[in-house]
A = this chain, B = another copy of it.
Amino acid sequence: MTRFFVEPEMLNTQTITLSGENANHARVLRLKAGEEVLLCDGQGREALCRVTDSEMTLEVLCCRESQAEPDVQVSIYMAFPKADKLEHVIQKATELGAAEIVAFPTVRCVSRPDDKSLKKKLERWQKIAASASEQSGRGKIPQVVVLGSYKEALQRAAMANRAILLYENERATTLKMALEAAPLTTVSILSGPEGGLEEKEVEQAKEAGLHICTLGSRILRCETAPLCALSAVMYSAGEF
């Protein structure tokens, strides 16, 4: 079924007229009278609608909670990587059901956006999340958040029901051990940049209450690790 993201307040009416990009999209699709489409507010609510005689005007049939959102809320905390890897992770983590993607600096981060370019980049990143949400049929658009320090990232990540740091030198604790200790409601997954985290940073994470976990005996790239862990969390939480 065709899906459009609209402003939340639009779902409160009985008749909805598409505008802007949605109208362009509807024109390309040549919607037919009687056809059903889904309008999502990007915050987890959606309206099942029927196209009226005018392809731009939709009659609301029913409003409901989105059925494509996972029960578990997973936040991906990723140290600023090089090049367009953050964009890749935003797109894939959105498909895989992440609730938010949080970027932050660490000691070994080679690249981090300056204050000047940050606003534009954030807009771009949020657009990638919106587009991946639409394509994957999600009811919510994950927020992309940028934090100013590693300390702030640790404090924020630690507030989840389960906070996990992925570390290639960890040997004893597997992700499974950390996940199976209690039911999953909110999960933070934190991982380092290309050069890895410094030992001192791992110690700080431990002190902040994060579980230090391995993803097995192979070294994953910085853009692979969070997506691998996110897949495992969704699997472990019974999503598939």
Given A227-B227, A232-B235, check contact A175 B240 (CB 8 Å): yes
Residue A96 interfacial (CB < 8 Å): yes
Residue A106 interfacial (CB < 8 Å): no
Taken together as a complex, chains A and B put the C-alpha atoms of A96 and B176 apart, in Å, by 16
A224→B95 contact, CB < 8 A: yes
Using Cβ atoms and an 8 Å threshold, which residues of chain B touch A68? 217-218
B70→A135 contact, CB < 8 A: no
How many subunits of this chain does the assembly comprise? 2
Q: Annotate A198-237 by CB proximity to B: 1 below 8 A, 0 otherwise.
A: 0000000000000001111111110010011101101110
Given A135-B221, A136-B220, check contact A235 B70 (CB 8 Å): no
Residue from B96, B213, B218, B238 in contact with A136 in the complex, judged by beta carbons closer than 8 Å: B218
Chain A: residues with Cβ within 8 Å of the partner, total of: 35
Residue A35 interfacial (CB < 8 Å): no
Nearest CB in chain B: distance from A82 CB, A: 15
Taken together as a complex, chains A and B put the C-alpha atoms of A124 and B174 apart, in Å, by 34
A221→B175 contact, CB < 8 A: no
Residue from B215, B221, B231 in contact with A227 in the complex, judged by beta carbons closer than 8 Å: B231
| CB closest chain-B residue, reference A69 | B217
Residue A97 interfacial (CB < 8 Å): yes
Nearest CB in chain B: distance from A50 CB, A: 23
Taken together as a complex, chains A and B put the C-alpha atoms of A138 and B216 apart, in Å, by 11
The 6 A-B pairs at the shortest CB distance, nearest first, are namely A231-B231, A216-B240, A232-B235, A228-B231, A68-B217, A216-B239
Binding site for B on A (CB under 8 A): 67-68, 70, 92, 95-97, 135-138, 174-176, 213-221, 224, 227-229, 231-232, 234-236, 238-240
Show 9 A/B contacts (Cβ-Cβ < 8 Å), sorted by A: A70-B216, A96-B218, A96-B224, A97-B218, A138-B218, A174-B238, A174-B240, A228-B231, A232-B240
